[in-house]
Chain A
């Protein structure tokens, strides 16, 4: 366990050094992410110019929801995103051999190769949006609520990780996986919607079958109206199930992997 932690810390240090070497790039990409977040915030501001509520959520409740959704996404981007999609490329080229040969759990070695500093930096911005919204709403969460919020964000990160692992593992079976990345972004859009906006078929598919809605709704709800047991159960069950599916598919994929030669 300690060994793995050391490995992770070493890759982090390496990534930081690397980012500082390519400073221009780092600044550019930080800006890119900042702009995307600004777009979402602006969208909310404009829509609420014309209406007071979306599915019963006020402007700052909605902003808190979106801030939470961003927070999870930035964490995912910062820690795992490029590692997992690099794996997808490596499977195609055969470079994946290199990871299998390393003395460690291949999934761990693949997932923690590097971190993206620009995304991690922007988690601060996402967090600021959450705190700002909470302040505007006059919320006064207890330390316990904040701890639960953090735990739920952590669960959200695990779910997102599992989802992306699942998408990236498709490479074990197919050659081209272009478009899979944009698939994730399209799906993740749904995490910006309050649960109450869904009804009928969309409720079954997006709220219950797919995990995006719980990722943002459960933590945001906890801050806004305190801990609810149903949310906790929903969140924990979703985390366990999706992580199980993600790892399961990855393992099956590895068994199928037969390297590539040129």
Chain B
């Protein structure tokens, strides 16, 4: 067990270092996200004109939701893991893992965590700089249970994000390019993951249905817990559904990996 831990600790360190190399990339992304936040503030500010609340929430609460979403995105969102995995399969880099006692999924997931720590911390920099301007809009609820349920929810969301990216990467065993699949699924994710509007604004039935889909648990769920958009009962019920999706996606990923390897031919030496 300790040996196992030590092995992946090295992977983690390498992941940290190689992602620090991309710090400017992440910084640029964070800067664009701030610009997106400006768009969100202007749009929702205009939509709230003449309303004190929309869907039962004030403008400040809605803006707090979008800021939370932005922070979460850099801490738990999958960025280009799908393309990286796809590239490793295509170029034959995965062959080296087949002969070594390293689990490819755990290896990639470890790197993913290292990468998110780097990008998450980097994204906080512009946000902290903007805090004097943002501060007056932020209104977080102060119940302790939100942290107790929100943190595991955020971790499981990270697992869901990564595993979906991993599954798309696995498609490389069968398809030449995966980009169109990824972007197609990204559109659904954008809508049903709550990137454009808080999902509770959806018509009731659609909102109910969305709660059973994995997209809800990719980002919206932890963000809604932290920003105070769902109550204790639906948060604890949500955790169970989220856990189900984590397991289901892990199983799919494992099956695809095993079937994919049967398709795979390692070429060259």
**Interface residues, chain A, with chain B CB atoms under 8 Å away:** 25, 28-29, 31-32, 35-36, 38-39, 42-43, 46-47, 49-51, 53-55, 176, 178-179, 182-183, 186-187, 189-190, 192-194, 196-198, 202, 206
B54 interface hit (Cβ, 8 Å): yes
For the complex, give the distance between the alpha carbons of A153 and B47 in Å.
Answer: 26
Q: How far is the CB of B162 from chain A (nearest CB, A)?
A: 21
Contact B46 A193 (CB under 8 A): yes
B28 interface hit (Cβ, 8 Å): yes
User: Is the contact region of chain B dominated by helix, strand, or loop, or is it mixed?
Assistant: helix
Which one of B25, B196, B197 lies within 8 Å of A179 (CB-CB)? B25
Contact A187 B35 (CB under 8 A): yes
Contact B49 A55 (CB under 8 A): yes
Q: How far is the CB of B70 from chain A (nearest CB, A)?
A: 12
B180 interface hit (Cβ, 8 Å): yes
Which chain B residues border A192 with CB–CB below 8 Å?
Answer: 43
Contact B201 A49 (CB under 8 A): yes
Chain B 200-232 interface mask (CB, 8 Å, partner A; 1/0): 011100000000000000000000000000000
Query: Besides the contacts A28-B181, A28-B184, A35-B188, what 8 more A-B pairs have beta carbons closer than 8 Å?
Result: A28-B180, A178-B25, A179-B28, A179-B32, A189-B36, A193-B43, A197-B43, A202-B42
Which one of B28, B184, B203 lies within 8 Å of A32 (CB-CB)? B184
Contact A39 B201 (CB under 8 A): no
Q: How far is the CB of A26 from chain B (nearest CB, A)?
A: 10
Which one of A32, A42, A53, A197 lies within 8 Å of B191 (CB-CB)? A42
Contact A54 B187 (CB under 8 A): no
Q: How far is the CB of B36 from chain A (nearest CB, A)?
A: 5
Which chain A residues border B39 with CB–CB below 8 Å?
Answer: 186, 189-190, 193
For the complex, give the distance between the alpha carbons of A25 and B48 in Å.
Answer: 42
Q: Which B-chain residue is minimally distant from A38 (CB atoms)?
A: B187
Which chain B residues border A28 with CB–CB below 8 Å?
Answer: 180-181, 184
From A189, A196, A198, A206, name the one whose CB has the most chain B CB atoms within 10 angstroms: A189
Which chain A residues border B32 with CB–CB below 8 Å?
Answer: 179, 182-183, 186
**Interface residues, chain B, with chain A CB atoms under 8 Å away:** 25, 28-29, 32, 35-36, 38-39, 42-43, 45-51, 54-55, 177, 180-181, 183-184, 187-188, 190-191, 196-197, 201-203
Q: Which A-chain residue is minimally distant from B40 (CB atoms)?
A: A189
Q: Which B-chain residue is minimally distant from A57 (CB atoms)?
A: B46
Contact A46 B38 (CB under 8 A): no
Contact A54 B46 (CB under 8 A): yes
Q: How far is the CB of B96 from chain A (nearest CB, A)?
A: 26
Task: Indicate whether A51 sits within 8 Å of B35 (C-beta atoms), given known contacts A39-B191, A198-B42.
Answer: no
Contact B187 A32 (CB under 8 A): yes
Contact A39 B196 (CB under 8 A): yes
For the complex, give the distance between the alpha carbons of A192 and B181 in Å.
Answer: 26
For the complex, give the distance between the alpha carbons of A179 and B24 in Å.
Answer: 10
Which one of A35, A43, A176, A197 lies within 8 Å of B45 (CB-CB)? A197
Contact B47 A47 (CB under 8 A): yes
Which chain A residues border B201 with CB–CB below 8 Å?
Answer: 46-47, 49-50
Task: Indicate whether A50 sits within 8 Å of B55 (C-beta atoms), given known contacts A28-B184, A35-B187, A42-B191.
Answer: yes
Q: Which B-chain residue is minimally distant from A48 (CB atoms)?
A: B47
Q: Which B-chain residue is minimally distant from A203 (CB atoms)?
A: B42
Q: Which B-chain residue is minimally distant from A31 (CB atoms)?
A: B184
Task: Indicate whether A53 sits within 8 Å of B187 (C-beta atoms), given known contacts A28-B180, A189-B36.
Answer: no
Q: How far is the CB of A67 from chain B (nearest CB, A)?
A: 17
Q: Which B-chain residue is minimally distant from A179 (CB atoms)?
A: B28
For the complex, give the distance between the alpha carbons of A25 and B45 in Å.
Answer: 40
12 A–B contacts from the bound complex (CB under 8 Å): A31-B180, A32-B180, A43-B196, A46-B202, A47-B197, A51-B50, A54-B47, A182-B29, A186-B32, A190-B39, A194-B46, A197-B42
Contact A51 B47 (CB under 8 A): yes
For the complex, give the distance between the alpha carbons of A54 and B39 in Å.
Answer: 13
For the complex, give the distance between the alpha carbons of A206 and B50 in Å.
Answer: 24
- Nearest 10 CB-CB pairs, A to B? A197-B46, A35-B187, A28-B180, A55-B46, A50-B54, A179-B28, A186-B32, A43-B196, A54-B46, A189-B39
Contact B47 A39 (CB under 8 A): no
Contact A49 B203 (CB under 8 A): yes
Which chain A residues border B46 with CB–CB below 8 Å?
Answer: 54-55, 193-194, 196-197
Which chain B residues border A197 with CB–CB below 8 Å?
Answer: 42-43, 45-46
Which chain A residues border B50 with CB–CB below 8 Å?
Answer: 51, 53
Q: How far is the CB of A118 from chain B (nearest CB, A)?
A: 10
Q: How far is the CB of B202 from chain A (nearest CB, A)?
A: 6
